[in-house]
């Protein structure tokens, strides 16, 4: 599939790290020009205070074979997103793929607290970071995307269902369910323009922050099972990155429009693998092993 997206333009909003970065790199590997946005740059970090930067992501896109363009954007500020859309229009005249991976809500989530216990200001900030940003980005980017039929929108979320298991925080749950519903709504609104919208969820993601939390690197990540044996079923960001890139390159992607797809679903559809050559299926692992309280073991889930 090398070069299949050559000449096409993608925007990955929230591409500083984790899934966003991996998706941007995978799109670059297929030849796309990728605008990568976020708030952490060489000049300064966002309130997340992480070392990863959008410039690093753009360089990784270049190394993969695409063209990475880093733009510092706070997607909660409409004027900044409008300026971004205007720049893409002026420089490229088109937008073929929009991936909205904006998040930045971890520091505001108070896990296990009821709605009356959770700090209200922090909860509302979480909603602003996780929902308003996606609405703002779609409002300004979609007029450019619908100029050509075949545009693809990917809304990154956590979990596949709106009415599924409660995510242990009312605000977090609202964010992730809202993003799924947004993808469904956009699927309807894009259909007359030949566009596609899906929601995508990774499994237990070995993001940079998660690796730090477990005190491991991607090279020795299995050592993290000493802390939590179920970490054996985790996956690297490359897994969902490759899946989303394959979806973006699929001329028949409309068959998935309006759906919520896991990284395992994308792997099954497109034959992609994680960096280690396996195909983790965390949703099935969670349902069959973790939820019932069975002993950890991923032998039948890769």
CATH at 46: 3.40.50.720
Does 129 map to a domain?
A: yes
- Distance between CA 31 and CA 22 in Å, rounded? 14
Per DSSP, the three-state class of 59 is helix
Q: Are 236 and 218 in contact (CB under 8 A)?
A: yes
Q: What is the pLDDT of residue 49?
A: 78
Does 291 map to a domain?
A: no
Is the pLDDT confidence value at 285 over 80? Answer: yes
φ, ψ for residue 11, nearest 5 deg: -120, 120
Task: Tell me what the mean pLDDT of segment 189-217 comes to.
Answer: 97
Does 285 map to a domain?
A: no
The separation between CA 73 and the C-alpha centre of its own chain, rounded to angstroms, equals 17
Q: What is the pLDDT of residue 110?
A: 94
Task: Tell me what the mean pLDDT of segment 152-164 comes to.
Answer: 89
For 129-185, what is the HEC assignment?
HHHHHHHHHHHHHHHHHCCCCCCEEEEECCCCCCCCCCCCCHHHHHHHHHHHHHHHH
Per DSSP, the three-state class of 199 is strand
Q: Are 224 and 231 in contact (CB under 8 A)?
A: yes
Of 171, 167, 159, nearest to 205 by C-alpha is 159
Does 230 map to a domain?
A: no
For residue 136, the enclosing domain spans 9-216+237-278
Is the pLDDT confidence value at 236 over 70? Answer: yes
Select the more confidently predicted residue: 125 or 106.
125
Select the more confidently predicted residue: 47 or 233.
233
Spatial strand order of the sheet with 9-13 comes to: 67-72, 33-38, 9-13, 97-100, 152-156, 196-201, 260-262
- Distance between CA 127 and CA 8 in Å, rounded? 32
Q: What is the pLDDT of residue 146?
A: 98
Confidence of residue 181 (pLDDT cuts 50, 70, 90): very high
Say which residue the tokens 């179920």 belong to: 230
Is the pLDDT confidence value at 167 over 90? Answer: no
Q: What is the pLDDT of residue 1?
A: 67
Is the pLDDT confidence value at 273 over 70? Answer: yes
| Token pair belonging to 127 | 């909603």
Does 288 map to a domain?
A: no
pLDDT, the chain, mean: 96
Does 203 map to a domain?
A: yes
User: In total, how many domains does the chain have?
Assistant: 1
Does 44 map to a domain?
A: yes
| Token pair belonging to 183 | 């993808």
Does 296 map to a domain?
A: no
Of 140, 148, 171, 149, nearest to 158 by C-alpha is 171
Say which residue the tokens 């308003």 belong to: 132
């Amino acid at each position: 599939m090398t070069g299949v997206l050559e000449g096409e333009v993608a925007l990955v909003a929230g591409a500083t790290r984790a899934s966003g970065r991996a998706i941007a790199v995978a799109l670059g590997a297929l030849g796309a020009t990728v605008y990568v946005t976020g708030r952490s740059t060489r000049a300064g970090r966002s309130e997340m205070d992480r070392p990863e930067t959008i410039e690093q992501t753009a360089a990784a896109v270049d190394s993969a074979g695409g063209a990475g363009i880093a733009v510092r954007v706070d997607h909660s500020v409409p004027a900044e997103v409008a300026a971004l859309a205007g720049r893409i229009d002026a420089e490229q005249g088109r937008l073929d793929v929009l991936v909205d991976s904006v998040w930045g809500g971890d520091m505001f989530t108070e896990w296990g607290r009821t709605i009356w216990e959770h700090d209200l200001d922090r909860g509302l900030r979480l909603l602003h970071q996780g929902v308003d940003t996606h609405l703002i980005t779609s409002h300004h980017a979609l007029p450019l995307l619908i100029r050509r039929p075949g545009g693809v929108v990917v809304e990154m979320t956590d979990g596949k269902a709106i009415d599924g298991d409660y995510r242990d925080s009312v605000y977090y749950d609202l964010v992730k369910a809202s993003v799924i519903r947004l993808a469904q709504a956009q699927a309807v609104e894009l259909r007359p323009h030949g566009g596609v919208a899906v929601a995508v969820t990774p499994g237990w993601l070995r993001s940079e922050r998660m690796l730090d939390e477990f005190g491991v690197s991607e090279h020795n990540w299995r050592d993290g099972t000493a802390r939590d044996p179920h970490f054996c079923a985790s996956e690297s960001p490359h897994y969902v990155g490759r899946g989303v890139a394959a979806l973006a390159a699929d001329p028949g992607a409309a068959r998935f429009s309006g759906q919520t797809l896991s990284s395992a679903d994308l792997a099954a559809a497109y034959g992609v693998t994680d960096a280690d050559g396996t195909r983790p299926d965390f949703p099935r692992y969670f349902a069959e092993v973790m939820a019932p309280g069975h002993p950890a073991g991923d032998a039948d889930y890769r």
